[in-house]
Amino acid sequence: MKYRFVAGVLALSTVLTGCGSITAGRNVNSGFTHIENCEYADALESFQAALDSGEDECLARRGMGIAYLNSFEYEQAAEQLLASLAADEGIVDDMDFDTNYYLAEAYMKLGEYNKSKEIYDAILALREKDKDAHYLRGVCELAAGDHDSAYSDFAKAMKQSPRDYSLIIRIYKALAEYGYEEEGTTILQNAFDGGSEYMSNYEKGQVSFYLGNNAEAQNFLEAARSERDQEKEPVVLLLGATAEKQGDYNYAVSVYKTYLSEKSDSAKVYNQLGMCQIRQGDYEGAIESFKEGLNIGDKPMNQALMINQITAYEYMGEFQVASSMMDEYLKIYPEDSNAVRENVFLSTR
């Protein structure tokens, strides 16, 4: 029955198979550690070693699929994720739903929107109130040109969590990306008008930011920045972005530096500070900010920090330094095709 369709719906026994009772082996554990550290080539080697040594195939191929997905190799990702789902017939559990989400993402990246949608159909047949599946199916439907079905799914997602403003913002972004920004703006405005008494200052600041009400957003975010129980990093990043949108780079730099003087372990804030300094023409300051960010050792942020530092050296006219750093960058991130093209440019300078 594998990979068959039943009455036009992807067979749940195929798409949502379970991996049974799993005991991860040494190579599988090593592979997932590499994924956490964004070391995808090393992860693939570990998972292949797991397969070669007879460790759990379901987990090993799942890991390979995730590594390929993060390496932008979507066909291989889909192939391995399908193989993971086919490797065992155990009881469906949360990990199997998670694997299917990855598979749907791979199909989406490949432009195979119907296949992606079929997976969300199968998920929703078992979890009809899964707001993320409704949202993501809506994105698939938008990409495939089916606006009405997408809007219906977005409405169902919002009905499940009417005060999930991050979800509402994601819906706004999806609608804007596919040419329906006015419709997305209406959704945002309705959420603000109908829920402001329940919203935190940060949430009001977020919605105001995407509505384009920058002065209001700044006021709400400044209030949120002083609240004891509010997580500060996202507030600071958005407050700085609000200032940057208005061209007030000095204020943005002040916001970032004030935060870092109190809490100096945010690679994201160092990265945004550096980008802001580039816009000011302060390339030396930007390079220093990116260096400080890299010193934190935040693996998921290191790629952005490294490429932005290279960009700052280019703006300074330090092409030899930039070229040398690009060589090191490509050893770590060989899958970055844009950086490969940029390296060709640097080699001619």
How many Cβ atoms are within 10 Å of 319's Cβ, its own excluded? 16
- Regarding whether 138 and 109 lie in a shared domain, the answer is no
Q: What is the CATH number of the domain that holds 169?
A: 1.25.40
pLDDT tens digits for 4-48?
222 223 334 444 545 644 567 899 999 999 999 999 999 999 999
How many residues in the chain?
A: 349
Q: What is the CATH number of the domain that holds 54?
A: 1.25.40.10
pLDDT tens digits for 142-163?
999 999 999 999 999 999 999 9
Query: Could you tell me the residue range of the domain that residue 191 belongs to?
Result: 128-199
Is the pLDDT score of 139 beyond 70? yes
- Regarding whether 156 and 135 lie in a shared domain, the answer is yes
- Regarding whether 133 and 96 lie in a shared domain, the answer is no
pLDDT tens digits for 290-322?
999 999 999 889 999 999 999 999 999 999 999
pTM of the model: 0.87
Number of structural domains, the chain? 2
- Regarding whether 170 and 94 lie in a shared domain, the answer is no
What is the C-alpha separation between 342 and 338, in angstroms, rounded? 6
- Regarding whether 70 and 36 lie in a shared domain, the answer is yes
Residue 337: which of 307, 314, 305, 302 has the closest Cα? Answer: 307
Long-range contacts of 181-184 (CB under 8 A, 24+ apart): 183/151
Stretch 180-200: mean pLDDT: 93
- Residue 31 resides in a domain: yes
Residues of the chain above pLDDT 70, percent: 89
Say what the pLDDT of residue 91 is. 77
